[in-house]
């Protein structure tokens, strides 16, 4: 299996800036991994458009189209298994990953969060809400965290963190921009660490 490339699925809901960064990093560093699937709850988001441009298979799947959440979760697991997925990266995926998917891919799902967990995590803590909370708390530093996904929001084992300063004149928007730059450095490093752990 020395020539086996790790098959990665990326879950997205938005523009896919982290998805794009990881895609280019995999190419530039010639890692033994490739993104083979982009899964989204929004059929025409920027991430899906990017995937189509790069010839990556896309799957639009949303619980709204299923009679029950269990049916939705079962379909998602089957889709991932059918594509022989090894690891899953959440990159701005604005839905909770079904427990059935977490169970089927233990320690193989990563998420990036725009704060230094365990602070400022949990349900409702996403996007600009996180940065507003950081500023309201008077924090002097923030950053990004890549962690494993489990059944609870933002509670999985932390793989890597990277810090950025909070400046006196920061707004939620300026802090968000600085943290996003940090994310684009951190996520590829975390993926490399995951692959090293799995191959050791």
Q: Where are the domains of the chain?
A: 6-199
| Whether pLDDT at 159 is above 70 | yes
Task: Specify the pLDDT at position 76.
Answer: 97
Q: Which of 4, 113, 131, 147 is catalytic?
A: 113
Alpha helices in the chain (DSSP H): 17-29, 46-53, 69-82, 99-104, 128-136, 172-199
The whole-number average pLDDT for the span 105-118 is: 97
The whole-number average pLDDT for the span 146-153 is: 94
Q: Does 184 qualify as catalytic in the annotation?
A: no
Task: Specify the pLDDT at position 200.
Answer: 81
- Length, in residues, of the chain: 200
The pTM score is: 0.94
CA 180 and chain centroid, separation = 13
pLDDT in tens, 38-88: 999 999 999 999 999 999 999 999 999 999 999 999 999 999 999 999 999
DSSP code at position 169: T
More confident of the two residues 101 and 27: 101
Tell me the CATH number of domain 6-199, given options 3.40.50.620, 3.40.50.170, 3.40.50.11540, 3.40.50.720: 3.40.50.170
The whole-number average pLDDT for the span 130-156 is: 96
């Amino acid at each position: 299996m020395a020539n086996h490339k790790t098959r990665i699925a990326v879950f997205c809901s938005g523009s896919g800036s982290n998805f794009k960064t990881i895609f280019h990093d995999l190419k530039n560093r010639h890692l033994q991994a490739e993104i083979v699937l982009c899964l989204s709850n929004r059929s025409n988001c920027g991430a899906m458009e990017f995937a189509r441009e790069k010839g990556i298979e896309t799957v639009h799947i949303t619980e709204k189209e299923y009679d029950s959440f269990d049916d939705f979760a079962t379909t998602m697991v089957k889709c991932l298994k059918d594509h022989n997925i090894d690891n899953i990266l959440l990159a701005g995926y604005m839905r909770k990953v079904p427990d059935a998917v977490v169970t089927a891919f233990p320690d193989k799902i990563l998420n990036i969060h725009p704060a230094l967990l365990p602070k400022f995590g949990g349900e409702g803590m996403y996007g600009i809400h996180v940065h507003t909370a950081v500023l309201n708390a008077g924090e002097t530093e923030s950053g990004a965290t890549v962690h494993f996904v489990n059944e609870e929001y933002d509670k999985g084992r932390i793989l890597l963190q990277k810090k950025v300063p909070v400046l006196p004149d920061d707004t939620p928007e300026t802090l968000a921009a600085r943290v996003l730059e940090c994310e684009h450095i951190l996520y590829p490093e975390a993926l490399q660490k995951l692959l090293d752990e799995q191959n050791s």
